[in-house]
Chain A
Amino acid sequence: DAGVIQSPRHEVTEMGQEVTLRCKPISGHNSLFWYRQTMMRGLELLIYFNNNVPIDDSGMPEDRFSAKMPNASFSTLKIQPSEPRDSAVYFCASSLWQGGYTFGSGTRLTVV
């Protein structure tokens, strides 16, 4: 099992540019989560999907953030336009049951 796969591992972009983060969950997992980690705020849940359907996006900071899950094996988190305060590590996690979360290695985003 390859685990949760995120790409890219690192992304440096200029303010105002569009950023797309990608996630491939573990095959068979039916829940997918996007988290953001910063020194100040720790790990924050942004949005999660059950069976490809967005369930709760109340953690998404603002309209510049959007997430999609077109099928069970792929999800994207998009930031448009990006701002320096979006700099953080973004994690994707998947789960088949309550508590059984597996995290990817994260995407470190730097917006300059």
Chain B
Amino acid sequence: GQQLNQSPQSMFIQEGEDVSMNCTSSSIFNTWLWYKQDPGEGPVLLIALYKAGELTSNGRLTAQFGITRKDSFLNISASIPSDVGIYFCAGEYSGGGADGLTFGKGTHLIIQP
């Protein structure tokens, strides 16, 4: 099946630092998504990307859909304590409606005081 390689696996940063994580795939996707999961909860959608080359921002978050359709990155600027959590990339290849997402293994973001 499709595989998503997400890196880094974990990040230990200081509050206020910028964060960057990325995902690569062996196959193309026509939708890339970034989710955040807090302990004991389900993943929550942060940003959705639908077009190769698309660059989208949501507050301090910026994500891009790679030109090859096989990669995406997520940047978080000026990190704050509530950014702590697990971030997942996800891709979908669909001819029309929702067909199910393939997820990366996640990036654990830990902010040191």
CB distance from B31 to the nearest CB of A (A): 4
Contact with A along B75-113 (1 / 0, CB 8 A): 000000000000010001010111111111110000000
Please tell me if A100 contacts chain B, counting CB pairs below 8 Å. yes
Chain B contact-residue range equals 20 to 34
- Given known A93-B42, A99-B48, contact A50–B101 (CB-CB < 8 A): no
Partner of A97, one of B40, B98, B100, B103: B98
Partner of A104, one of B33, B42, B101: B42
Q: How many A-B contacts are there with CB distance less than 8 Å?
A: 66
Please tell me if B13 contacts chain A, counting CB pairs below 8 Å. no
In the complex, given contacts A31-B97, A45-B100, A98-B94, what are 19 additional A-B residue pairs having Cβ atoms less than 8 angstroms apart?
A4-B42, A33-B101, A42-B106, A44-B103, A45-B101, A45-B102, A48-B98, A50-B98, A55-B99, A98-B31, A98-B96, A98-B99, A99-B33, A99-B50, A99-B98, A102-B45, A104-B42, A105-B41, A106-B40
Could you pull out 26 A-B pairs where Cβ atoms are within 8 angstroms?
A31-B98, A33-B98, A33-B101, A42-B105, A42-B106, A43-B43, A44-B103, A45-B100, A48-B100, A55-B99, A56-B99, A56-B100, A91-B42, A95-B98, A96-B98, A98-B50, A98-B97, A98-B99, A99-B92, A101-B33, A101-B101, A103-B43, A103-B44, A105-B40, A106-B40, A106-B41
